[in-house]
Structure formats: C-alpha cells, structure tokens
C-alpha cells in the first residue's frame, strides 16, 4: 500500500491539477484509514493512521512541519489526531476527520434551529485561536483590548481576519466546520458535557473581562485536541448570518448576503449559554469588536 500511495503522490505532485490522480490518492488514503468518517478513523490502527498522516504531510510540502499524533478525550469521545505546524505563522493545526452530524439545537434560541444533518469533509483547523505572537508575524490592522504574545489576537474585522489568513495560505472555517470541530463527536451542550465546567471555559467575567492564554487550558482540550473553542474569545467564521432553513448541508459557507457575519464560541465576558457548541452570534464584517478573534483552517491537499 505504501508503494501505491507514493506512486499516486508523485502523480499528484507532478500534475497538481490532475483531478483524477487527486481523487485516486484520496480514495487510497481513505481506504487505509477513513478520514472522511470520524468513527471509522477512530477505529483504524495507529500504523494506518500514521501512514495517512505522513502522506498528507508530504503533500502539504516544505511550508509545514509534521508534529505527530496524540490521543484526546472529552465528553465521552476519543480520537487520535495528527498535528502540523504552519512554518510561516507558527500556527499549529490539527487534522480533523470528517463525517455527518446534527448541527444546531432545537431547545435553544430560534437562530440555532431547526437541527439539520450536515456532512463535513476532513480539514485542518487551529489547535488554538490565533495568538498575538502569530498574528504579529504578518500584522493586519487590529484594535486589541489586551496585549500579550500568548493571548488570542482580537479586535479585528472579519475582512481583516480573512485577509490575514489568505495572505498566509490559510482560511476561516465555515460555520458548519467550526461546530463539527468544536463538538468533536459529542452531542451535549458543551464539548465536555451538558453543564458548564469552569475548568474548560472562560466566561461570565463581566467588568473583570480579559482574554487568557489558550495554553492555560492545554490539559482541557476537546476530543479533537482543540483548546478554547468555547469561551475566551469569540471566533469569526466564513459564513454570512442567516437562518438555517436556507443554509447548505455540505459543510460549505452560507451566503445569505447582508453585512452580518457569524461568530462562534462565546467569550470570557458573556453568559455560559453563549459558549454552548450550538450557540451563534453575529457582527458586521467591518466591526472591530473587543473579544472577537479567529481560528485558522485549511482544506486537505487532496
């Protein structure tokens, strides 16, 4: 199998626009360890997973550093997840398997429902919200409220966040990708359970509001190894804001029109309910809001 993969790799690398070769390589990888199915990926052997991760690392190329794989567990879900460092920005992204899930909530605000079945393709997504030390390597305009290299960058517009990522060869996650990555296989209100647990999430600080270094929660990631998807700073996603009734079910971004863009994850200022996995908020694309940050994403290189 390794020889077949290397041959397909060479075909893709010599002709990046060859859709047939890319499709064959993707199929061969997913037969080995199915990245398109979270549960089947979790059931695959570590050796098969590592072969897939090694192949993807080579396809990502010299702009990336493979960091190996680790096991993460939270909320009753458990996965072995690979990580890669983007050398230009030093952002670490985790390779999250895809699958199908029920997005949204039927017992929350109207904007969160009705729940709908959405299919997500595997993707790379940031372990942390982008931190100031990473943002400042390729700075865009921002009006950060708190200063510190390990703090999340916040106070940038949706347009500025998107521009920073595009310049680095990255992108914003879609809203559906964001919720899939936050839930990490869970169906509870939060990625750790149905009740708020302050050990996982900064919220409700009111007048004492500040941002926090995500690394302080390194021992409380979700089951995909992501830190602080809930609380700390809210995160821009690609979608414009609108009802789920007209939103896509293939994981792509909703294009409702208008000036509002979706925010996810809640922040350290607001109520615990804003940090639920299904919770949604919105702000104008030109807003420089305190406590609004971003998380990097990237589609698979095949």
Please state, in angstroms and rounded to a whole number, the distance separating the CA atoms of residues 71 and 78.
Answer: 7
| 8 Å CB contact between 63 and 85 | no
If we measure between CA atoms, which residue out of 65, 42, 62, 48 comes closest to residue 122? 42
Residue 107, pLDDT score: 86
Provide the greatest CA pair distance for the chain: 60
Q: Which two tokens stand for residue 185?
A: 């296989």
CB of 69 within 8 A of CB of 82? yes
Q: Cβ neighbours of residue 100 under 8 Å, at least 6 residues apart?
A: 117, 118, 119, 120
Q: How many CA atoms lie within 13 A of 227 on its CB side?
A: 18
Residue 78 is inside which H or E element, if any?
strand 77-86
Token pair 């029109």: residue: 257
Under 8 Å between Cβ of 210 and 146: yes
- Which residues are 234's β-sheet partners? 292
Q: What distances in angstroms separate CA 93 from CA 165, 193, 216, one per listed residue? A: 13, 24, 18
Q: Which two tokens stand for residue 176?
A: 């559906």
Give the Cα separation of 17 and 14 in Å (integer).
9
Question: What pLDDT does 2 receive?
Answer: 66
What are the phi and psi torsion angles at 36 (to 5°)? -85, 5
- Which domains are seen in the chain, by residue range? 1-62 (no CATH), 65-299 (3.90.1580.10)
Report the C-alpha gap between 273 and 248 in whole angstroms: 25
Contact 167, 91 (CB under 8 A): no
Name residue, tokens 């807003």.
287
Please write the tens of the pLDDT for every residue from 232-280: 999 999 999 999 988 899 999 999 888 999 999 999 999 999 999 999 9
Structure tokens at 277: 């996995």
Question: Which residues, given as ranges, of the chain have pLDDT below 70?
Answer: 1-2
Across-strand partners of 72?
A: 79
How long a stretch of residues is the chain? 302
Provide CB contacts within 8 A for 230, sequence distance 6+.
182, 190, 191, 200, 201, 203, 265, 266, 275, 276, 277
């Amino acid at each position: 199998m390794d020889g077949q993969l290397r041959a397909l790799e060479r075909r893709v690398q010599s002709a990046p626009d060859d859709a047939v070769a890319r499709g064959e390589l993707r199929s061969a990888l997913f037969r080995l360890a199915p990245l398109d199915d979270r549960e089947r990926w979790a059931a695959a052997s570590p050796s098969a997973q590592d072969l897939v991760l090694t192949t993807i690392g080579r396809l990502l190329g010299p702009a990336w550093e493979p960091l190996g794989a680790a096991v993460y567990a939270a909320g009753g879900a458990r996965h072995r997840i690979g990580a890669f460092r983007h050398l230009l920005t030093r952002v670490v992204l985790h390779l999250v398997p895809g699958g199908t899930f029920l997005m949204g909530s039927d017992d929350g605000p109207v904007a969160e429902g009705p729940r709908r079945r959405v299919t997500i393709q595997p993707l790379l997504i940031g372990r942390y919200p982008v931190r100031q030390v990473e943002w400042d390597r390729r700075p865009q305009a921002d009006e950060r409220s708190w200063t510190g290299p390990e703090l999340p960058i916040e106070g940038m517009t949706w347009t500025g966040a998107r521009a920073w990522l595009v310049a680095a060869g990255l992108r914003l996650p879609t809203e559906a990708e964001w919720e899939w990555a936050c839930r990490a296989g869970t169906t509870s209100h939060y990625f750790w359970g149905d009740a708020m647990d302050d050990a996982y999430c900064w919220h409700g600080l009111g007048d004492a509001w500040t941002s926090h270094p995500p690394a302080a929660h390194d021992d409380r990631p979700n089951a995909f190894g992501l830190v602080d998807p809930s609380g700390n700073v809210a995160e821009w996603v690609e979608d414009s804001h609108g009802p789920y009734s007209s939103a896509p079910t293939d994981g792509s971004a909703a294009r409702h029109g208008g000036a509002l863009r979706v925010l996810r994850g809640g922040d350290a200022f607001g109520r615990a309910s804003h940090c639920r996995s299904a919770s949604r908020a919105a702000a104008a694309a030109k807003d420089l809001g305190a406590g609004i940050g971003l998380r990097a994403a990237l589609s698979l290189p095949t």
